[in-house]
Structure 1
Amino acid sequence: MSELTPNKPYDDMTKEEQTAHDAKEREREKAEQAALPYQWTQDLQTVTVSVPLPKGTKGKDVNVVMGKKKLKAQLKSSNEPILEGELFNDIISDESSWTIDDGTLNIELEKLSAHIASHQWWPHVLTHHPKIDTTKIVPENSKLEDLDGETRTMVEKMMFDNRQKAMGKPTSDELKKMEMLEKFKKAHPEMDFSNAKVS
């Protein structure tokens, strides 16, 4: 296998180099995520954080604070929080919840973005923790073909937009606007579009 050239743009790599690079990045991500004091998963609407607790811990022994953009979980018997920090994005705290199940604290964070039609994958839960590569995310527990038409279209659009942003290229919405402008120009050759901008 060829050696990876440092700082070589991903698009300039051979297929073999990209595969090696992706595998290396996945290993690094896995190690970083395993070192966190919790595990987490996400879907389009929610982020689920699972925190292992000492045996016998009950709900009354734990203090969980879920603000619009902050999260804190602490055992009342301890001075140090298990986790605390700023969330990657806003949540709907009234619709977020937590439970203790089999010695694990499960925190369900309801993404605000899911309610304003701008679904977004989170690269990390707390901003001071390592990120994952959201361009490689495929929805958990489902293959794209298992999703209903509308959800599948939305997920594919998100994945496309994430890839485009990562490469500094226009998103699907921006491409659509550019296309509409081009069509309009063709339909109205008499108009001057020299100052037209796509915002």
Structure 2
Amino acid sequence: MADDKELTPAEEAAARAQEKAEQDSLPYKWTQTIGDLDITISVPGNLKGRDIVVDIKKDSISAGIKGQEPMIKGTFPHAIRTDDSTWTLSAAPGNTKVIEIHLDKINKMEWWAHVVTTAPKIDVTKIVPENSKLSDLDGETRTMVEKMMFDQRQKEMGLPTSDEQKKLDILKKFQEQHPEMDFSKAKIS
């Protein structure tokens, strides 16, 4: 919402209902995670892959049935990785098929308000992300998150964090190497 005032529950419900109606009226459905975005477009079941036209670029998309107006066409609000973005045509219930388009976001820390900039926006502040598993994270991020979780548990138990423990270990090693020095008044910060 443009203004920063709190909405009443009724206004909030109306805003959500309007958003849902706008999204439901689109000729495609879409979902996203923080790292990627998936679009599905229902088409007649007698179509083959050669009847479908999908053009995915770093900053735009055009997709639909060959010889017809695209069902989705426009500029992305943010860039994607074209090498990791794909599309397939799959059978669906009834006499239909579904064009499934997978887009790999370049910025994996950003929610999209819409697939293309001409489409109605959703309120990204209302997105409740699914819990990710540590195994989903890349090595460096996983290590950082595990360290943060360890440090949080240590603090809760009144124990030293990993950085504080490192300092204590260095001091202990130094003390063992220099028994002639008095460390009784040493402070670690």
Name the TM tier (shorter chain). Answer: 0.5 to 0.7
1:91, distance to aligned residue in structure 2 (A): 0.4
1:72 corresponds, among 52, 59, 62, to: 62
Corresponding position of 1:43? 33
1:22, distance to aligned residue in structure 2 (A): 1.6
**Does residue 113 of structure 1 match 2:107?**
yes
Q: Counterpart amino acid of 1:26?
A: R
Q: Higher RCO, 1 or 2 (CA under 8 Å, sep at least 6)?
A: 2
- Taking a change above 3 Å as real, the CA distance of residues 82 and 41 of structure 1, as seen in their structure-2 partners, is same
1:10 corresponds, among 5, 10, 13, to: 5
Larger radius of gyration: 2
1:121, distance to aligned residue in structure 2 (A): 0.3
2:18 corresponds, among 2, 21, 28, to: 28
TM-score by length of 1: 0.61
1:79, distance to aligned residue in structure 2 (A): 3.4
The CA distance in 2 between the partners of 1:49 and 1:96, in whole Å, is: 11
Tell me, what secondary structure is at the counterpart of 1:106?
strand
1:82 corresponds, among 59, 71, 74, to: 71
Q: Counterpart amino acid of 1:96?
A: S
Q: Which has the higher helix share?
A: 1
TM-score by length of 2: 0.64
Tell me, what secondary structure is at the counterpart of 1:94?
strand
The CA distance in 2 between the partners of 1:65 and 1:150, in whole Å, is: 29
The CA distance in 2 between the partners of 1:101 and 1:149, in whole Å, is: 29
1:98 corresponds, among 80, 87, 106, to: 87
Q: Which has the higher strand share?
A: 2
How many residues get paired? 132
Which segments of 5 or more consecutive residues in structure 2 lack a partner in the other structure? Answer: 92-96, 142-189
Which segments of 5 or more consecutive residues in structure 1 lack a partner in the other structure? Answer: 1-6, 155-199
The CA distance in 1 between the partners of 2:136 and 2:57, in whole Å, is: 31
Tell me, what secondary structure is at the counterpart of 1:53?
strand
Q: Counterpart amino acid of 1:10?
A: K
1:33, distance to aligned residue in structure 2 (A): 0.2
Corresponding position of 2:116? 126
Could you list the per-position Cα deviations for residues 44-102 of structure 1 after superposition, in whole angstroms to 9, with x for gaps in the alignment?
A: 111000001112212111111000100001312x2311211111110001110001112
The CA distance in 1 between the partners of 2:56 and 2:3, in whole Å, is: 41
Q: Counterpart amino acid of 2:78?
A: N
Tell me, what secondary structure is at the counterpart of 2:44?
coil
- Taking a change above 3 Å as real, the CA distance of residues 147 and 138 of structure 1, as seen in their structure-2 partners, is farther
1:147, distance to aligned residue in structure 2 (A): 4.5
